[in-house]
Amino acid sequence: MKTALALSLLFFTSSALAAVVGKDVTYKAGDTVMKGFLAFDDAVKDKRAGVLVVPEWWGANDYARKRARMLANEGYVALVVDMYGNGQVADNPQDAGALAGAINKNPQLALSRFRAAETFLGNQPNVKKGEIAAFGYCFGGGVVLNMARAGEPLKSVVSFHGVLATDVAVKPGEIKAKLRVFTGAADPVVPPAQLEAFKTEMDNAKADYMLVVYPGVKHTFTNREADSYAAQFGLPLKYDNEADTDSWTRALEFLKATLNQHE
């Protein structure tokens, strides 16, 4: 009995010690040092699928890291992508808009920085080769959709309240990734005309996609800080628990259906 109890306690202790590990990492895109955040469960010894997390226009902040940890808790290796270089983050809309605008106006720069993160994640010893997905939030949602439009070899791409408009002309068959797009019907950043244009674009491109539109939901609906941002800066943002929970649940189901987690 004592032996069985000791073994039980040993198992419990070792299980309790296993947890999601989060660590700051650096990699390079050209001559620019990029500062990301890598999260994974160190209790899992097999190789796993990887997920790139492209942040909101604020940059690679605590919210993006929270989402990476949540993905790691589900068994994925998640990397928060630094799109701005040197880990730059913004604490006001003016700086955030300038940083995001510089990337949006330079598609080749955006592509090179995304690919640098994609390569870094793919080279991690605990990541399965070729099993990579991408999540993007707001600005990041637009980025990951543009990466899909560029034909990046991603298994799946998920955009949460991301911008859907693009200047990229996509030909049928060029989008390799399967897509899930979650947006709010009351989001002034993504008005109805943009939704319709996106559906037409995806249909013409013969993309494998699903667009989920939440009635009455505004921009940044997955981020609990949205209401404080709205109050502080007068932005049309609002957190929505129901849309947040539903989109996350659907996104995880989508990852399980598109990524191979088994050796």
* 72 and 50 Cβ atoms separated by less than 8 Å: no
**Measured distance CA(5)–CA(23) in Å, rounded:** 35
- Cβ atoms of 103 and 84 within 8 Å: the answer is yes
Give the pLDDT score at 44. Answer: 87
Tens digit of each residue's pLDDT (9 = 90 or more) over 98-117: 999 999 999 999 999 999 99
Element (H, E) at 6: helix 2-17
Identify the helix (H) or strand (E) that includes residue 72: helix 62-73
Is 60 exceeded by the pLDDT of residue 16?
Answer: no
20-258, what's its fold? Rossmann fold (3.40.50)
Confidence at residue 1, expressed as pLDDT on a 0 to 100 scale: 44
| CA-based nearest residue to 181, from 140, 227, 228, 123 | 140
Residue type, 123: N
Strands (E), 55-126: 77-80
> pLDDT at position 130, please?
94
Largest CA distance in the chain: 70
Residue spans of the domains in the chain: they are 20-258
Reading the block at residue 45, the tokens are 């010894």
71-99: pLDDT as tens digits: 999 999 999 999 999 999 999 999 999 99
Using CA atoms, how far residue 190 sits from 162, 185, 197, 202, in Å, is 8, 8, 11, 16
Residues present in the chain in total:
263
Residues with Cβ within 8 Å of 224's Cβ and at least 6 positions away in sequence, in order, are: 239
31 closest CA partner among 85, 78, 69: 85
* Token reading at 251: 């996104």
Residue 97: exposed, middle, or buried by beta-carbon count in 10 A (0-12, 13-18, 19+)? middle
Tokens 């270089």 correspond to: 85
Q: What is the pLDDT of residues 34-64, one digit of tens each?
A: 999 999 999 988 999 999 999 999 999 999 9
- pLDDT at residue 262, as a whole number: 57
- Whole-model pTM: value is 0.92
Rounded distance between C-alpha atoms, residue 251 and residue 246, angstroms: 8
Which class for 93: exposed (0-12), middle (13-18), buried (19 or more C-beta within 10 A)? middle
